[in-house]
Structure formats: structure tokens, C-alpha cells
Structure 1
Amino acid sequence: MQLMLHSHPRIAVPPETRFLLRAYREREYFGDLRVPENRRSLAEWIVGRKKTRFRDLGLAPREIVDEIVAGPPTLGSALGIVFRAYARRFGKPRWGDKRPAYYQNINAIMRLFPDAQIVQLIRDGRDCVGSLKQMPWYRHNSYHAISTWAEAIDYGRSAAARLGPDTFYQVRYESLIADPQRELTALCDFLGEKFDPAMCEPREVADVAVPKRKTWHENTHGAVTQSTAGTWEKRLAPWELQLCESALGSRLRDNGYELSGAESPPVKHWLRYTGTATKRRYRNRKRSTQDMLRRMREPDDQLPCRLPEQQRPGTSEHA
């Protein structure tokens, strides 16, 4: 999806940047952004912090720092300046960002970019669990992976009801790879853009928009294929399939996925899953409550992006 959108002549979507959420959570550290030196500290943090992926954007750090210092005094503006510069690198007026963890932070994204359009890509939860098991960077177990998919579906359902069809859009992965032109045409209608056939050939931009170190994304360098659907049949152990279908059954069915009819999982696996899911819910609620308390004592005008360009046709500019 990232590459398909990046293939559009008007939209740029970079590799995962990993500085947006951290900047939001640590915003108090940078102080009042109406002070130029505070904006400079924020800018230096964005371009210089080792754990972010700024270097993957191919941008000049000093130029970005100067642009942020000269820009509007809000966190959303500072972050938007980075993405705008990335889009400018390709001569495009619109930009987006992709990261799986955004599903838990849609409220934060909307505070930073009130006119954003959110696109959620939904894949068969069993395939998601099987895929995560293959990832060299994934450090959790299958209980966490199953909980992650359940959360993503629940957060997405809530966001769809809250934000409405002009702001929130869902795409089914299996439908996308089966008929890219149909699904991307519908997505472009949502974005207010005209479909471009180049979007169906994302491999053409993979060398530019996928860092070489991400070897687990090697499939992005090939043609769109349906071979990645249904891989759970080979990747999941019997108990993992049983647990997936027991824990995710109604969510799978609601999103058009047929169940295999697997038996109930052994009690020990069900207990470990429910324990993991409960702990995750507690952490999510704690983080949400802490953020709510922080927002009660900060000015409302310190967050929203104030960049003057308009990207969303008729309103503003964030894909």
C-alpha cells in the first residue's frame, strides 16, 4: 500500500519514519514551540536521533532544521515540514506516512493533523500472525501477535464510526492484490485524486522507497501477487490456528474471512492469550489516560499542523 500510494504522481509516502509518535509523546520536553530555540531543539532531535529513520528520507538535515525553525510554532507543523520536504524531493504536493502502530494512535494523529485522511489496510488475521513470526525484528510471541490484530480491528471500527467516511477508509488486503485497479480507483476517490495506472506497478518505486536493509520487504520488488494470501495454512502450528480462530473468529467473519473449523485451543494457550490481551488493554488505557491528563494542561494551539498548502482537495493536505 505504501508503494502503491507513492507511485501516484501527486502523493509521496516514505519508509517508516518512527519519529512522529515519539515526538508527540515527548512533546513536553521541547517546551513552548513559539520560542525559536525550542523549535531548533525539536528539529535537531528529529534529524539527529539514532532511533528515528530520518536518514532513510534522503533529505539534508541542516535544511530541514532551518525550515522547522522558520516554520509555524506547532508540533504538527514541524513534523509536516519533514514530510512536505520528502514529497518535494519527488515533485509531489501530497504526502502520507505509514506505520502499523498508528492504529493505536489515531486520536494523536488527528490532533497533529486535523484534516488527515486515514487509510486502514486489513489482512486476514491468521496471515498477519504467520507473517509476524517470519519477521527478524519481531520480538514478541504469537499471543501478542493475535492480540495486536484484534486491537487493530477494534480501534479501526471505533475510528470509522467516530471519524466518518470522508476521513477514514478501509481496504481489504486480499481484495487489493486480487484486483489492484478496482481497489485503488476506489481509494483514489476517497482521497479526492484521480487513479493512475502506475499505482498498480509498485515495484517500479521499490528501489527508491524501500531501504535496502529491509530484506523482509523483498516481495515489494516483484509484481503484485495473490500468493501471499492464505499463507497461514503453512505458517501456523495447529494450536496457533485454533487460538486465532477462537480469539478472532467474529472479527474474521465480520471482515469476510471464512474460518477453517479448527477445534478449540488447549486451555493453557487460551489462558496465556487472555492474560496477554488483558495486560495490553491495561497498558493502552493507561497510556490514553496519561495523554488525556497531559492535554488538559497544555494549550490547544501547540499541536495542529499549520502549513499553508492544501493537499486534501477542497480542505487541506494530508494523505
Structure 2
Amino acid sequence: MNWFDSVGALRAWAAAARPVFICGQERSGTSALQLAMSQHPALFAVPHVYETFIFSEPHNLRASSPRHMLQDYLRGPDNLLRLQERFAELGAQAGGDAGTLDDDDLIRAFFAFAADGVYPGQRPLEKTPAHVRCLPRVFRIFPQARVLACVREPTEVVDSYRRRLQREQALGKPREAWKWLDQTDDQLIYYMRQVDRALTEITTLVPGQVFQVPYGWLNADPLTAMTAICEFIGEPFDPAVMAPKAAWRDRIDERLGRPIGTASAPRPSTLSEETIAMLRKETWGLTRRWRVPGPLRPDPAAVG
């Protein structure tokens, strides 16, 4: 039975699927990791570092002008139109129309369509850092999913935001392109605590199905890290994940054209000593937890 034969078939497909999702703290290597994983022959060969926001904004799939990255992930607006036609077919089979499908079924259909016609024969792969806040929904829809959660030393996160903001502004880009980077220290601390809370809470729901990927660990020993990550998702290590994507040079960030693990972590240069001391004080718990790589499981010491 094909996934588009009925809503029941679609849900059965999702229950059996083994997608790989990359999320976590922004500016912590999610793009570099997605580019590396997209070169593994078992996973979607996603051609760009698209962020779909599919788990947080599934309604965009119904829009006449959805996020361009959502369309590009499906390799063009024509495929999106075909997917929307599938919505109508599934809705009719359920006794209604395209609007009959709930948001979870829209998400299921998005990935099923991509697996069937856009990246045939490969496991779903998707990267949106903000999906770390949607992990309960991710595992409700895809109970066999594997999630790679990228994290980074908090002072480096803040410094990375500042560096990227300066670079975008120096290029003369409009505010719309860089306003997401223009955050205060307090805002960034709040976001990092949200990420930490989301990762802590998901360990009790699906212990062992989220792999924490510290930025420093990935860059210090990329071969060991990528081997462990491949083992975690249940695929053999393939040297392709270590290769650079030369065509990416000068796009978004020239470092994305280098092999995985070659992005250095310079000492924060946009932050004052006072700011660094404040960040370390406010985020010491995150720093301690985010240094440890591997599958996340509940802390026995926290039980009872």
C-alpha cells in the first residue's frame, strides 16, 4: 500500500520511517553537520542548508506562497503543488477536502512525498535548529526518529552571533536578512536555557534517541564524531561525510565549503571580559552539560 492511498497508510509509513533530524542551539554547527550528513548515500541528498520550520509552522504547506526554503527542500514549486494535490486526495479519501488533514498529517505527507519522489530510496534528513522546541511532536509523528542536537559553549554562541551580525551588516544586507542575529545577551541566554530545557525534558520521553553533538567535540575529532553519529543513526560510516563541498565556498559562510570539523573556535573577540564573565556565571550549568557528546538519557541522580 502506498502512503497516499489513505490517511491510515500515511500514518503507518511515518510510524515505520527512520528519519534523521538536526536541531539544537543556533550557531552551533547545525549547517555544517547537515551538509556532511547529506553526503551519506543513505540520507536525503539535500542540496542546501534549508530550514523548513515544518514542525513549528506546518500551515505553510497550504500557503500559496510558502517559505522559499520549504519549496527548495522539495526542489521547486512544482513539487510543492503536487504535494498540495496529494493533500486534496487524502482529504477526499477521509470524507472531506485538503483542509481535513490535521497538522501532523501535513508533516507526515511532506516527508513521505519527499522520500517517494524527491529523494527516492533515501531516509529523510532535515535541519532546523528551532525544531529543538518541537521534539515531543517530532517523536509523536516519527517514533523511530533519530535526532542530532547541536550545542556549543555559550560564550562562543554569543560571539558567533555577533561576528555573523557584523559580517551581514558589512555586506550591506537589509535588516530583514539579519534581524534574527540582532539579539541582546539576555535574549540569547534565555534562548540557550530554552534549548537546554527542551533537551533535558525529551530524555524522559525518548531516552537514547537524541544524540548531543557538542561543537568543540565535532571539531576536535571529526572522524571519531562522525563515526559515532553514523552508528547512532544505524548506518555504516561512509567517508563521503568527511569530504568538503567545494561548491559551497562563498555561499552563506565560506567555512561550509571545508570538510566537517575544520571550523575553528577562535577566542571570543566581540565580547568584553566583563561580558564573558557574566555569560560564564549565568550559563555554567549549560556549559557543563553541553560538553558531553552522545545519546541523552535521564540523569539517575535527578530521579527521586
Question: Normalization by structure 2: what TM-score?
Answer: 0.66
The AA in structure 1 aligned to 2:264 is: T
Task: Identify the residue that residue 116 of structure 1 maps to in structure 2.
Answer: 145
- Cα distance in structure 2, aligned partners of 1:140 and 1:236: 14
The answer to whether 1:203 aligns with 2:222 is no
The answer to whether 1:2 aligns with 2:52 is no
Task: Identify the residue that residue 95 of structure 2 maps to in structure 1.
Answer: none
Q: Residues 161-310 of structure 1: matches in 2 within 5 Å?
A: 161-165=204-208, 167-203=209-245, 206=248, 215-229=251-265, 231-256=266-291
- Cα distance in structure 2, aligned partners of 1:71 and 1:237: 56
Task: Identify the residue that residue 145 of structure 1 maps to in structure 2.
Answer: 188
Q: What per-residue deviation string (whole Å, max 9, x for no partner) do you get for residues 249-287 of structure 1? A: 132133339xxxxxxxxxxxxxxxxxxxxxxxxxxxxxx
- Cα distance in structure 1, aligned partners of 2:156 and 2:262: 13
The AA in structure 2 aligned to 1:254 is: R
* Percent of aligned positions that are identical: 20
Against the structure 1 CA distance between its residues 155 and 44, is the aligned structure 2 distance closer, same or farther, given a 3 Å change threshold? closer
- Cα distance in structure 2, aligned partners of 1:100 and 1:107: 15
Is this contact kept in 2: 1:75–1:112, CA < 8 A? no
- Cα distance in structure 1, aligned partners of 2:270 and 2:203: 31
- Cα distance in structure 2, aligned partners of 1:197 and 1:121: 21
Is this contact kept in 1: 2:211–2:232, CA < 8 A? yes
Deviation of the 1:21 alpha carbon = 0.7
Task: Identify the residue that residue 81 of structure 2 maps to in structure 1.
Answer: 62
Task: Identify the residue that residue 104 of structure 2 maps to in structure 1.
Answer: 76
Against the structure 1 CA distance between its residues 143 and 176, is the aligned structure 2 distance closer, same or farther, given a 3 Å change threshold? same
The answer to whether 1:128 aligns with 2:171 is no
- Cα distance in structure 2, aligned partners of 1:78 and 1:63: 13
Q: Which runs of 5+ in 1 are unaligned?
A: 27-41, 258-319
- Cα distance in structure 1, aligned partners of 2:247 and 2:146: 23
SS of alignment partner, residue 143 of structure 2: coil
The AA in structure 2 aligned to 1:222 is: R
Match of 1:100 among 101, 110, 129: 129
Task: Identify the residue that residue 201 of structure 2 maps to in structure 1.
Answer: 158
For structure 1, which segment, 12-21 or 180-189, has the greater mean C-alpha deviation from structure 2 after superposition? 12-21
The AA in structure 2 aligned to 1:20 is: F
Against the structure 1 CA distance between its residues 205 and 216, is the aligned structure 2 distance closer, same or farther, given a 3 Å change threshold? closer
Q: Which runs of 5+ in 2 are unaligned?
A: 1-32, 92-100, 169-177, 293-304
Is this contact kept in 1: 2:53–2:131, CA < 8 A? no
Spell out structure 1 runs of 4+ moving beyond 6 A: none
The AA in structure 2 aligned to 1:83 is: F
Against the structure 1 CA distance between its residues 50 and 232, is the aligned structure 2 distance closer, same or farther, given a 3 Å change threshold? farther
Q: What per-residue deviation string (whole Å, max 9, x for no partner) do you get for residues 59-101 of structure 1? A: 3232222233334845334223333444543444211221121
The AA in structure 2 aligned to 1:158 is: E
Q: What per-residue deviation string (whole Å, max 9, x for no partner) do you get for residues 295-318 of structure 1? A: xxxxxxxxxxxxxxxxxxxxxxxx
SS of alignment partner, residue 156 of structure 1: helix
Deviation of the 1:184 alpha carbon = 1.5
The answer to whether 1:22 aligns with 2:57 is yes
- Cα distance in structure 1, aligned partners of 2:90 and 2:61: 11
SS of alignment partner, residue 56 of structure 2: helix
- Cα distance in structure 1, aligned partners of 2:121 and 2:279: 41
CA RMSD of aligned residues (A): 2.7
- Cα distance in structure 2, aligned partners of 1:225 and 1:171: 12
Q: How many residues align?
A: 230
Deviation of the 1:240 alpha carbon = 2.0
- Cα distance in structure 1, aligned partners of 2:244 and 2:111: 20
Question: Normalization by structure 1: what TM-score?
Answer: 0.63
